[in-house]
Amino acid sequence: MDLKWPLVKGTLLLRAGEDGEEKKALQAAAEILQAGGRVAFPTETVYGLGANALDPEAVRGIFRAKRRPADNPLIVHLAALEQAGELAQNIPPAAVRLAKHFWPGPLTLILPKRGAVPGIVTAGLPSVAVRVPAHSLALKLLRTAGLPLAAPSANLSGHPSPTTAEHVLEDLAGSIEAVLDGGPCPIGVESTVLSFMFSPPALLRPGGVTLEMLEEVLGAKIQSPDLGNFKTDYTATPPAPGMKYRHYAPRAPLFLVEGAGPAQGRRLLALCTSLTARGLKIGLVVFAESQGIFPAPVLKVLSSRRDPATAAARLYGVLREMDAAGVDAIVVEGFEAAGLGGAVMNRLRKAAVQVIGAE
Ligand code: AMP
Ligand code: MG
């Protein structure tokens, strides 16, 4: 092992930013993965915590480090579409069409699994989640290691997902072998999850690839629990087991104020006033257009209301900054925006202890 890498509580920080460093960092990361260890790495969505998907012991290490419930399956990351056939079988032509169109990219496909995939990866389900990430370091790591990598987000279960190597270390230093530092993740929210275990296919988690984009390439309708057109009673048997857990949550309770215009502004103001009157130190997260709405002791601007991509990229970092500032409650101004805006709102609703003013 190259000793020039810094150790943070026993976790190697593999910096890949400077000239000549990248190759060595990738080699070190690949060797750890081949030996059954865990390496967190950047993707275009969030940092993933990777291990050899075909080695049940290595995958067990992911669940241990994250303290993730064993019934929540993992996404397997691949270097190329051609690899999907080694993990999945009876892949429908429509799934291949989507993969050809959106991979590498933030779309996870759930497909019938092959016997080669250990049960621990899929939490015993007959399906496996696969995707080819679009981050150059992730792709290089997958190619150098020569392995499919099971990689959920590299955070402690239930915490906001990590979008920088520092976030990963906050949660996992000392419990994983290494983190490959490739700077901040460009998208900032997790991949879209689409399941082909349902007909029509079911959107289980919104992300960078939107419902409209999927339907356009498919030339057919998709069902989604969020749209209320999902045929199965998914509250009894959640199609994505992860859906039943509270997610993405900072330490301080988060209140989400939905709606638009003056009505939303009034609700936001009333909530901030009443929490402050109770002696709570509030952290307020607003769009640039509402910066002056309340003199909160900690105020963070997410982005302009018209810029959901920046809101997505900054979301998890801002929630972590609120916890670092020691606030007692976080109040977030919601928005309805196209594209990534839907994914941002989905994460905020799951993180919230209370949603106010939903129509
Ligand atoms: P994470 O990797 O932490 O972003 O979470 C992965 C998401 O994909 C979770 O919501 C899982 O429940 C879901 N998932 C992974 N594999 C499957 C599968 N075989 N069937 C349904 N959902 C899955
Ligand atoms: Mg996660």
Residues with CB under 5 Å of ion ligand 2 are: 153
Instruction: Check whether 246 has a pLDDT greater than 90.
Output: no
In this prediction, residues 98-115 reach a mean pLDDT of: 98
Mean pLDDT of 177-194: 97
pLDDT band at 185 (very low <50, low <70, confident <90, very high): very high
37 Cα: distance to centroid of ligand 1 (angstroms): 21
pLDDT reported for residue 3: 54
Identify the pLDDT of residue 256. Answer: 98
* Confidence label for 4 from pLDDT (cuts 50, 70 and 90): confident
d(CA 244, CA 239): 10
Question: What integer is the mean pLDDT of 210-219?
Answer: 95
**Confidence band, pLDDT 50/70/90 cuts, at residue 227:** low
Q: Nearest CA to 222 among 196, 195, 243, 203? A: 203
Q: What angle do CA 309, 254, 329 make, to 5 degrees?
A: 120
Ligand 1 within 6 A of CB of 150 = no
Adjacent-strand bridge partners of 175:
none
Q: Is 154 in the pocket of ligand 1 (CB under 6 A)?
A: no
Whether the CB of 110 sits within 6 Å of ligand 1: yes
Residue nearest to atom 11 of ligand 1 (CA): 242
DSSP 290-319: GTTS---SEEEE---TT-HHHHHHHHHHHH
Q: Is the CB of 117 under 6 A from ligand 1?
A: no
| Cα-to-centroid distance, 175 and ligand 1 (Å) | 22
> Does the pLDDT at position 247 exceed 80?
no
Say yes or no: CB of residue 153 within 6 Å of ligand 1.
yes
Give whole-number Cα distances, 88 to 78, 84, 111, 119, in Å.
Answer: 12, 6, 6, 13
For residue 228, give the DSSP letter.
T
Residue 235 above 90 pLDDT? no
Q: Is the CB of 62 under 6 A from ligand 1?
A: no
CA–centroid distance, residue 297 to ligand 1 (Å): 37
What is the distance between the alpha carbons of residues 194 and 114, in angstroms, rounded to a whole number?
A: 18
**Residue 30 CB neighbours (<10 A):** 20
Range with the largest mean pLDDT of 143-147, 206-210, 247-251: 143-147
DSSP state of 160: P
pLDDT confidence of residue 359: 61
Q: Which atom of ligand 1 is nearest to the CA of 239?
A: 21
Among 10-19, 120-129, 169-178, 303-312, name the one with the lowest average pLDDT.
Answer: 10-19
pTM score above 0.85: yes
Band (342; pLDDT cuts 50, 70, 90): very high
Which of the listed residues 67, 159, 191, 193 should we mutate to test ligand 1's pocket, taking the one with most ligand atoms within 8 A of CB? 193
Give the pLDDT of residue 336. Answer: 84
Count of other CB atoms within 10 angstroms of residue 230: 16
Cα–Cα distance for residue pair 171/319, rounded to 1 Å:
14
Kindly tell me if the per-residue pLDDT of 243 is higher than 70: no
Q: Which residues lie below 8 Å from residue 131, measured CB to CB, with a gap of 6+? A: 75, 76, 77, 78, 103, 105, 106, 107, 108, 109, 191
Which residue minimizes the CA distance to atom 5 of ligand 1? Answer: 152
Q: What would the pLDDT profile of 113-136 be if each residue is shown by its tens digit?
A: 999 999 999 999 999 999 999 999
Task: Name the nearest CA neighbour of 253 among 271, 269, 277.
Answer: 271
Specify the pLDDT at position 240: 65
pLDDT in the model for residue 142 = 98
Separation between Cα atoms, residue 229 and residue 165, nearest integer Å: 39
CA of 152 to the centre of ligand 2 (A): 6
**pLDDT value at residue 83:** 98
User: Using CA atoms, how far apart are residues 70 and 272, in angstroms rounded to an integer?
Assistant: 38
The per-residue pLDDT for 126 is 97
Q: Is 217 helix (H, G, I), strand (E, B) or coil?
A: helix
Q: Residue 238 has what pLDDT? A: 57
Q: Is the pLDDT of residue 266 over 90?
A: yes
Strand residue runs (E) in the chain = 7-8, 11-15, 39-41, 48-52, 75-77, 107-112, 127-131, 149-150, 178-181, 192-195, 202-205, 254-257, 282-286, 298-301, 329-333, 354-356
Average pLDDT over residues 93-112: 98
Q: What is the mean pLDDT of residues 37-63?
A: 98
The reply to whether ligand 1 has any atom less than 6 angstroms from the CB of 11 is no
Sign of CA pseudo-dihedral 138, 143, 144, 146: positive
Q: With a cut of 70, say whether residue 228 has pLDDT above it.
A: no
